[in-house]
């Protein structure tokens, strides 16, 4: 049992395991093998926006933490 969460990992896995079959699991995992490429223009806009947030200090923790 995971005492930090109060869960029995074995029984939780058994419950999830019964929700899908091997073929469904393989189909789900195949998505990781061939990820869709992001639009280069979108990636650049996102990079610029995120870097701007870093420069502005938006990523800093709130003062009360």
For 23-40, how does the pLDDT look when each residue is reduced to its tens digit (9 = 90+)?
A: 888 888 887 777 777 789
- pTM of the full predicted structure? 0.38
Tell me how far apart the alpha carbons of residues 21 and 28 are, in angstroms, rounded to a whole number: 11
pLDDT tens across the length of the chain (65 residues): 444 555 555 566 666 666 778 888 888 888 777 777 778 999 999 999 999 988 888 766 667 65
Q: Compute how many other C-beta atoms are within 10 angstroms of the C-beta atom of residue 48.
A: 10
Tell me how far apart the alpha carbons of residues 57 and 55 are, in angstroms, rounded to a whole number: 5
Tell me how far apart the alpha carbons of residues 58 and 25 are, in angstroms, rounded to a whole number: 39
Sign of CA dihedral 13, 16, 22, 25: negative
Q: Which residue has the tokens 């990992």?
A: 9
């Amino acid at each position: 049992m995971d005492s930090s969460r109060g869960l029995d990992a074995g029984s939780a896995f058994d419950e999830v395991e019964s929700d899908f079959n091997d073929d469904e699991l393989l189909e789900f995992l195949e998505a990781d093998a061939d990820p869709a490429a992001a639009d280069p223009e979108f990636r650049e806009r996102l990079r610029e926006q995120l870097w701007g947030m870093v420069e502005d200090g938006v990523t800093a923790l709130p003062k009360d933490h």
